[in-house]
Structure 1
Amino acid sequence: MASGSPKNCLEFFKTVGRLKHIKRTGWVNRNVRDPETVSGHMYRMAIISFLLDEKDNVNRDRVMKISLVHDMAESLVGDLTPDCGVSVEDKHQREVSAMEHFIKLVGEKAGNEMFNLFMEYEEQKTPEAVLVKDLDKFDMILQAFEYETDQDRPGTLDEFFKSTEGIFKHPKVKLWVEELYKQRNSERSDQS
């Protein structure tokens, strides 16, 4: 069947649809109740990108698109974290192969666009890719804060916050991180 055919498109839809059910490994490994899915994470990143404007010096639509494809390969390879025992190089190669598979399913126009956006994120050479990396890490600590608060487990996910200290680059994201820390510190002092 030809790439981009209805049969192959349906296969692609079903494959990426798996992201609605793949729980994020970091939360599963930390015994979080009802952990978010990969697609939930990507969706919130894309929604966050709506808050960008011309003063942020990025192409907002491109940020949104990169947010939507940056973890798409996980529908085939799973959510691999450093705890999984897979090298960074091997993880990258598995994800590249998955993205190449999608080109075969959906055709070169859409497939190459998704592949190129994925590679842009991986290579971190554009302002948009760097910002999406910030959004990826910001969403992670925001989610950690929500779990600590909603599941009455203050401070138990501190490792996620520590892993992002000093890494945020974009001024707007830095402001959001600062506010998140204020709220987290306030929540923790209310608990004591």
Structure 2
Amino acid sequence: MENSKILEFLELVGRLKHVKRTGWILCDINDCETIAGHMYRMGIMTFLLTEENNPTKLDRLKCLQIALIHDLAECIVGDLTPHCGVSPEEKHRREDEAMKTISGLTGIAGDRMYELYKEYEDQSSPEAKFAKDLDRYDMILQAFEYEKRENTPKKCQEFFTATEGKFDHPFIQDLVKELYLQREIFEKHTVVNGHV
């Protein structure tokens, strides 16, 4: 592994600290999160897996690793959403190419990153499926946070609609129920106080 290539890799990864997520930009959310911020919270959520809420014994380290690399290709291709006019096939092709470029900079370590990226894309392991749950959950949690911050109930409803019924892991399903409950209370409270 050449140090110059590692530096190039780290600079590419560093871009994600500054790239805003497209979905929020399209929703006119000011001061929205970055791709790295999204992946960071997903990574932190893997620490919440315990003996009690992880009956299928998911590999927590693998869940963490997938969370941290699942959007890595976006440092080259950007955050492409269905609203960007790029077909799903083309999006996957671009991201796969980008991941090959990124992983090529770090030798064996890159081989592992690419392998985990493919696992996530193909949803071929329980850990990849859990990471998908985290991805969706972080998105609706973030949507709710923006609704509260801007005092605009249901402003981000499209994100809830898009993910409804798509959560598989019981622990995440419970968190979704709690989020829905808190969102309902927020909406009622806002209406009662005459803001809507």
Considering the TM-score relative to the shorter chain, is it more than 0.5?
A: yes
Shift of 1:31: 0.4
Q: How many residue pairs end up in the alignment? A: 188
- Aligned ranges 1:80-159 → 2 under 5 Å: 80-107=80-107, 109-159=108-158
CA distance in 2, matches of 1:163, 1:69: 23
CA distance in 2, matches of 1:98, 1:63: 22
- Aligned ranges 1:55-94 → 2 under 5 Å: 55=52, 56=54, 57=56, 58-94=58-94
CA distance in 2, matches of 1:133, 1:54: 21
Uncovered stretches (5+) of structure 1, i.e. residues with no partner:
none
Given residue 12 of structure 1, which amino acid in structure 2 is its aligned partner? Answer: F
Show the counterpart of 2:13.
16
Given residue 68 of structure 1, which amino acid in structure 2 is its aligned partner? Answer: L
Shift of 1:152: 1.4
CA distance in 1, matches of 2:80, 2:103: 22
Shift of 1:37: 0.2
- Conserved? CA contact 1:11–1:105, under 8 Å: yes
Shift of 1:102: 1.6
1:118-165, Cα deviation, whole Å (9 max, x unpaired): 000000021100010000000000000000001111111101001111
TM-score normalised by structure 2 residue count:
0.94
TM-score normalised by structure 1 residue count:
0.96
- Conserved? CA contact 1:168–1:174, under 8 Å: yes
Show the counterpart of 2:26.
29
Given residue 87 of structure 1, which amino acid in structure 2 is its aligned partner? Answer: S
- Conserved? CA contact 1:53–1:60, under 8 Å: no
Identity %: 51
Given residue 104 of structure 2, which amino acid in structure 1 is its aligned partner? Answer: K
CA distance in 2, matches of 1:32, 1:170: 29
CA distance in 2, matches of 1:135, 1:149: 21
Uncovered stretches (5+) of structure 2, i.e. residues with no partner:
192-196
- Deviation beyond 4 Å, 4+ runs, structure 1: none
1:48-106, Cα deviation, whole Å (9 max, x unpaired): 01001245121111000000000000000000000001111111111111111122211
- Aligned ranges 1:158-177 → 2 under 5 Å: 158-177=157-176
Shift of 1:175: 0.2
